[in-house]
Amino acid sequence: MQIQETGLPGLRILSPKVHRDLRGFFLESFREEFSQALDEPIRFVQDNHARSEEAGVLRGLHYQAPPAAQNKLIWVSRGAAFDVVVDLRRASPAYGQSYGLVLSADNFLRLFIPKGFAHGYMTLEPGTEFQYKVDYYYAPEHEGGLRWNDPALAIDWPQGEPIMTERDKNWPLLAELPAIF
């Protein structure tokens, strides 16, 4: 597995080695020893799988606050999505900066998102399936979010008006967030 830095501290792109032949492909989607390349060992405790039926579905931008903050390893297993993270760590030199990339079943990329980032994605194809591993169990009482279209973030989403929940439409702006991380 190749690991690429993104320019935001701790945020990394993983490219697994894909073996292809006339039957299809094979890859190792995760190896525990991957955590040796990180700043601290990670023990994932929960896997999540989401499916969005239409292109243009936006989920996010979400985070879990301490003490339930999560490291995540994410990828798309069917379809494609434009994935975005925002650094919410006040002490980070990249505080308030966003990073986006396309994750797809065709490119096999994984993204490691450390604690302290808000995360969201917009589906680019119908029937997109998104998977991720987390190192802390989902805790709704510690969930928060950031407004998807905050002008301060200047995220260039691939579609104008997304399909999303009212809750996700109404998260606070970055300037309104208290120091969480």
Task: Name which residue leads in pLDDT, 159 or 81.
Answer: 81
For residue 108, the model assigns a pLDDT of 94
Amino acid at position 131, single letter: Q
pTM above 0.85, yes or no: yes
73 found inside a domain:
yes
Q: If you write DSSP's letter for every residue of 92-121 in order, what string do you get?
A: STTTT-EEEEEEETTT--EEEE-TTEEEEE
Cα-based distances in Å from 69 to 27, 97, 102, 122, 134? 29, 19, 24, 22, 9
157, 79 in Cβ contact below 8 A?
Answer: no
26 found inside a domain:
yes
For residue 102, the model assigns a pLDDT of 98
117 found inside a domain:
yes
Mean pLDDT of 5-11: 91
Domain count, the chain: 1
List, in sequence order, every residue forming a beta bridge with 118; answer none if it has no partner. 86
Active site (catalytic) residues: 62, 132
For residue 96, give both structure tokens: 């308030």
H helix or E strand, kind and range, residue 169:
helix 166-169
11, 113 in Cβ contact below 8 A?
Answer: yes
Residue 141 belongs to domain spanning: 2-146+157-176
CATH code of the domain in which 114 resides: 2.60.120.10
64, 41 in Cβ contact below 8 A?
Answer: no
152 found inside a domain:
no
181 found inside a domain:
no
151 found inside a domain:
no
Task: Name which residue leads in pLDDT, 20 or 57.
Answer: 57
Residues 20-55 have pLDDT tens digits of 899 988 878 777 777 666 667 788 999 999 999 999
For residue 23, give both structure tokens: 């039957």
